[in-house]
Homo-oligomer: A and B are copies of this chain.
Amino acid sequence: MNGHANGGGAAGVRAPPGKADKGADFANYFCTYAFLYHQKEMLSDRVRMDAYYDSIFKNARHFKGKTVLDVGTGSGILAIWSAQAGARKVYAVEATDMAAHARSLVAGNNMEGVVEVIEGSIEDITLPEQVDIIISEWMGYFLVRESMFDSVIYARDRWLKPTGMMYPSHARMFLAPMQTSLGERKIQEYQHAMSDWDRFTQDTHDQYGVDMSVLNNPYREEQRKYFLQTSVWNSLHPNQIIGQPALVKEFDCLKATLEEVSIVRSQFRIPIDSGNLKIAGFAGWFDVHFRGCPSDPADNEVELTTAPSVDDTTHWGQQVFLLHPPVSTRTGDVLVGELDITRSVQNHRLMDVKVAHSLERQGSPAATPTISTFFIE
């Protein structure tokens, strides 16, 4: 045997029955956040840092004398900023051992009188009071990966005052057609993997008397999933986007429900840019806004966008869903379709994505939609 304790994720493994297993969830998910190295990666994302920093200090009035809850505080940076902006009390909740480091950081920045670090899952801990503001950096790839918004919604419904506000206050998801040569490379890698398998089954038959060919299809399926159907992290150049990005979902963080965030279903209709372009796939990204709340809007609205950019790239990049084969378009074509994101049965923090798309072309009959299945791993 030779199992990589650190590799593989839970894909393909029968999940324990019933709800998400807490031990597995720690092993699969929270573990990453227990490393300072990983915290440093996030703290080095200038776009992310600037947005949260500005949202707090350019709206310090919101924080002055208020109580704040930071859901998933990590190193504690948002809690410390909230305190520096004048919060009376900040509850900084962290599920991993990172809580101990957050506590040090709070003390090292002389905020132990204001910031209280609480180690535990937000669903398990208790606060002594309701709060005025919930701040959290909960966004995963394509917004929804990690399903951490669930915990923020839970915190809101349990601990936010009726007059309270959310930082960020709004979140949006975008989908856009794109061009890239990445798909060709993935196809080559997939083909290489399959030739390798053919050689392997031949060898195993010849040398060890076992016919592996009954596994050809499952192997092909596994490799297809890995090379062709798993979305790819990419930091795209804006000119790779070849049609107006479609707003596929918008969340008001004060109102969003668990039902709304657990299944994202949206139709899109995107005129393709002029020129006979090839759609190699779809790019998905998100932005969030800090607008305060209707009764007490932000003095200075701040936006954090993870859209393709030359200068303002983020560690989130974009998620790329490759079409095999690419779709040829003509000037005037309109890409219409439906996006459908649900949670993986095996790991509720990962996503299954279905895209049904077709091209509307003047003078042609409506085309049957092509359905593609993807996985955000």
Residues of A within 8 A of B (CB): 1-16, 21-38, 40-44, 49, 53, 72, 74-75, 77, 80-81, 84, 96-97, 101, 104-105, 107-109, 137-141, 145-146, 148, 193, 197, 200, 203-204, 207-215, 218-219, 222-223, 226, 315-316, 347, 349-350, 377
Contact = CB atoms under 8 A, between A and B. Distances in A.
Contacts of A349: 3, 5
How many copies of this chain are found per oligomer?
2
Nearest to A84: B209
**8 A-B pairs with least C-beta separation:** A21-B23, A108-B214, A23-B24, A12-B34, A6-B9, A27-B27, A24-B27, A8-B32
B108 A5 contact: no
A179 to B, nearest CB: 25
Contact of A350 (B5, B141, B204): B5
Contact of A140 (B2, B11, B211): B2
Contacts of A6: 7-9, 28, 377
A223 B22 CA distance: 28
A5 B28 contact: yes
Contact of A204 (B12, B43, B204, B219): B43
Contact of A107 (B16, B138, B214): B214
A96 B12 contact: yes
B223 A139 contact: no
A162 to B, nearest CB: 27
Contacts of A200: 40, 43-44
Nearest to A40: B200
A40 B222 CA distance: 12
Contacts of A139: 1
A219 B36 contact: yes
Nearest to A35: B12
16 contacts: A1-B137, A2-B41, A5-B9, A12-B96, A21-B24, A23-B23, A23-B24, A24-B24, A36-B218, A37-B223, A43-B204, A53-B208, A77-B208, A80-B210, A81-B210, A104-B215
A9 to B, nearest CB: 4
B13 A96 contact: yes
Contacts of A9: 5-6, 27, 31
A94 to B, nearest CB: 11
Contact of A226 (B28, B37, B197): B37
Nearest to A226: B37
A21 to B, nearest CB: 3
Nearest to A102: B215
Contact of A40 (B7, B97, B197, B214): B197
B208 A5 contact: no
Given A3-B30, A23-B23, A23-B25, 15 more contacts: A1-B148, A2-B42, A8-B32, A13-B26, A13-B34, A13-B97, A24-B26, A27-B27, A36-B218, A37-B219, A44-B203, A77-B210, A84-B209, A104-B218, A108-B215
Nearest to A344: B5
Given A24-B23, A53-B208, A210-B105, A222 B35 contact: yes
